[in-house]
Chains A and B, each alone.
Chain A
Amino acid sequence: MATSSKFISEWWLQRVSAVVVAAYVLLVLALLLVNGTPNAAQWQALFGNVGFKLATLLALIATAYHGLVGAMHVWPDYVKSRAVLAVLNAYSWIAAAAIVLWAVYILFGMK
Chain B
Amino acid sequence: MADTPLAKSRTRPVYRNIGFGELRNYRLPIPGIASIVHRVTGIALFVALLFLLAMLQMSLKSEAGFEVFRTIIWGNILGKIVLSGLLFAVIYHMVAGFRHMIQDANKWLDLPMARSTAFAVFAISVALTALVVWRLC
Q: List 8 A-B contacts (CB under 8 A).
A: A67-B45, A71-B42, A74-B39, A92-B46, A95-B49, A98-B50, A102-B53, A110-B61
Is the beta-carbon distance between B42 and A103 smaller than 8 angstroms? no
B1 on interface, CB distance cutoff 8 Å = no
Closest-CB distance, B96 to chain A (whole angstroms): 11
- CA gap between A67 and B49 in the complex, in Å: 10
Which residues on the B side are within 8 Å of A54 (C-beta)?
A: none
Chain A CB within 8 A of B108 CB:
no
A47 at the interface (CB under 8 A from B): yes
Q: How far is the CA of A22 from the CA of B132 in the complex (A)?
A: 16
Question: What's the least CB distance linking A75 to chain B, in Å?
Answer: 8
Q: Considering only CB atoms and an 8 Å cut-off, how many residues of chain A contact the other chain?
A: 31
A contact face: mostly helix, strand, loop, or mixed: helix
User: Which residues of B46-64 have CB atoms within 8 Å of chain A's CB atoms?
Assistant: 46-47, 49-50, 53, 56-57, 59-61, 63
Q: Chain B: interface residue count, which band?
A: 20 to 34
Write the nearest CB–CB distance from B53 to chain A, whole angstroms: 5
Q: Using Cβ atoms and an 8 Å threshold, which residues of chain A touch B47?
A: 95
CB-CB < 8 A to B53: which residues of A? 99, 102-103, 106
Cβ B63 vs Cβ A37 within 8 A:
no
Q: Are A40 and B97 in contact (CB under 8 A)?
A: no
How many whole Å from A79's CB to the nearest CB in chain B? 12
A33 CA to B57 CA, complexed, in Å: 22
* B117-137 CB contacts (< 8 Å) to partner A: 128, 131-132, 135-136
Q: A37-B136, A103-B53 are in contact. List 13 more A-B contacts (CB 8 A).
A: A25-B91, A29-B128, A32-B135, A33-B132, A40-B70, A43-B60, A47-B60, A67-B42, A71-B46, A95-B50, A99-B49, A102-B53, A106-B60
